[in-house]
Amino acid sequence: MKVIYMDNNATTKVAPEVVEEMTPYLSEFYGNPSSMHTFGGQVGRKIRQARERVAGLLGALPEEIVFTSCGTESDNTAIKGVLSAAKNRRKIITTRVEHPAVLSTCRDLEHHGYTVAELAVDKNGRLDLNELQDALDDDTAVVSIMYANNETGTVFDIDQISSMAKSKGIVFHTDAVQAVGKIPLNLSQSSIDLLSISGHKLHAPKGVGVLYVRKGTRFSPFMLGGHQESGRRGGTENVASIIALGKACELAAASIEEENDRIRRLRDKLEKAICATCPDAMINGDIEHRLPNTLNVSFEYIEGESILLLLDKFGICASSGSACTSGSLEPSHVLRAMGVPFTAAHGSIRFSLSRYSTEEEVDFVAEKMPPIVNKLRQLSPFVET
């Protein structure tokens, strides 16, 4: 059965060009990039090229790129690294809709005596910037607010938010794991101090990430060890994956504008078809400010998991907005923070497209959805038939 992969916010296919670029560094060129010999030195040069490619996509300087093991490590490093450098400030500002990589880190720090302000969002997942302004005070060490939400695709106004933090002399971090490679960024013209990336969200392999650290940012390393990454992240480099991420960034930079338009058109087509054919479908997120690839839709009175199981029978891969906690299905913290009614949050599905998504796939999913929704509604104890 053909797989129709619409779960690209969970992970992406490694691009064939990326596989080709990284493969020799798993077999032929196995030297340590820190070695003095020529054999290792050529690997070091390739890592420098990867650093330049990542910097190129971000509009950053190569020396501002620190390779890590994943987006989660980058988020942890950013927040803890700033706190340990800013000894006299004890407060973190974040939002209720962050990925657990940020939210769990902040909540854990709260148990260690730090103060955490979690900003609320409205029903469309938007922040109230007055609430942020009120929260910025002399005790705040770091503001960590995601660029784009992984569940709904809502994109925050990070230019404005980072400027607000900067005007108060507060370090600003953004988890841009879902944004990089999907929407253009230019860090040379922003007030972002730290930014997290994950390789597997932009067609590189799992197990590699980046933390961008603006030159001059007060920051202590999280992973102590050797002098790798200019002393900012110890540990022998994951060479092949770093090279892969560099290539993935180069590919994204070359096609981001046209792919954006194409993917948005496909996503909008799917959204329109679902809304036209499935009664009581409701789009979650900020329709005006959304990643072009993400569609989060709720169907009242049915469970997202049941939809996923029926889609799976046709080879269609998507995600639901619930997580299994202690044997029961808990609606996502993001949809709950947005105040999405319980009955709709339970029935939410996320489709996330990529540059490999096709119009035929969208048409196929659009055709399969109405009978699935109708069938589940007929079985639902909450719907009168």
Closest CA to 322 of 346, 343, 286, 294: 346
For the four alpha carbons of 91, 122, 345 and 360, in that order, the dihedral sign comes to negative
Shortest Cβ 358–ligand PLP spacing (Å): 24
Binding mask 26-65 for ligand PLP (x = CB under 6 A): ----------------------------------------
From 70, 249, 317, 324, the catalytic residue? 324
Question: How many whole angstroms separate alpha carbon 265 and alpha carbon 287?
Answer: 14
Binding mask 188-217 for ligand PLP (x = CB under 6 A): ----------x-x--------x--------
Our finding on whether 8 is near ligand PLP (CB under 6 A) is no
Our finding on whether 99 is near ligand PLP (CB under 6 A) is yes
Q: How many residues bind ligand PLP (CB under 6 A)?
A: 14
Shortest Cβ 150–ligand PLP spacing (Å): 3
11/374 with CB nearer ligand PLP: 11
Q: How far is CA 324 from CA 49, 150, 268, 284, in A?
A: 42, 18, 30, 21
Question: How many whole angstroms separate alpha carbon 126 and alpha carbon 184?
Answer: 20
Give the residue closest to ligand PLP by C-beta: 71
- Give every CB contact of residue 259 below 8 A, 6+ residues apart in sequence: 355
Exposure string of 71-80, with b = 16+ CB inside 10 Å and e = fewer, is: bbbbbbbbbb
Closest CA to 140 of 171, 113, 164: 171
Q: Which of 54, 101, 302, 369 is close enough to bind ligand PLP by CB under 6 A?
A: 101
Q: Near ligand PLP by CB under 6 A, which window of 25-33, 42-50, 66-74, 271-279?
A: 66-74
Our finding on whether 72 is near ligand PLP (CB under 6 A) is yes
Our finding on whether 361 is near ligand PLP (CB under 6 A) is no
The count of other CB atoms within 10 Å of the CB of residue 323 is: 11
Q: Near ligand PLP by CB under 6 A, which window of 172-180, 187-195, 237-245, 264-272?
A: 172-180
Q: Which of 21, 175, 237, 250 is close enough to bind ligand PLP by CB under 6 A?
A: 175
For the four alpha carbons of 124, 175, 192 and 222, in that order, the dihedral sign comes to positive
Shortest Cβ 347–ligand PLP spacing (Å): 22
Which secondary-structure segment (H or E) carries 382? none
Our finding on whether 180 is near ligand PLP (CB under 6 A) is no
72/380 with CB nearer ligand PLP: 72
Task: Establish whether 106 is a catalytic residue.
Answer: no
3-state secondary structure of 79: helix
Q: Which of 178, 238, 241, 354 is close enough to bind ligand PLP by CB under 6 A?
A: 178
**What are the beta bridge partners of residue 155?**
148
For the four alpha carbons of 182, 187, 191 and 194, in that order, the dihedral sign comes to positive
Alpha helices (runs of H) in 181-238, residue ranges in sequence order: 228-231
The single residue listed with the structure tokens 């260690």 is 112
206/375 with CB nearer ligand PLP: 206
Shortest Cβ 93–ligand PLP spacing (Å): 17
Angle at 330 between CA 329 and CA 332, to 5 degrees: 130
The count of other CB atoms within 10 Å of the CB of residue 317 is: 16
- In the window 142-161, what residues touch ligand PLP (CB under 6 A)? 146, 150
Cite the active site residues. 324
Interface residue list for ligand PLP (CB under 6 A):
70-72, 75, 99, 101, 146, 150, 175, 177-178, 198, 200, 209
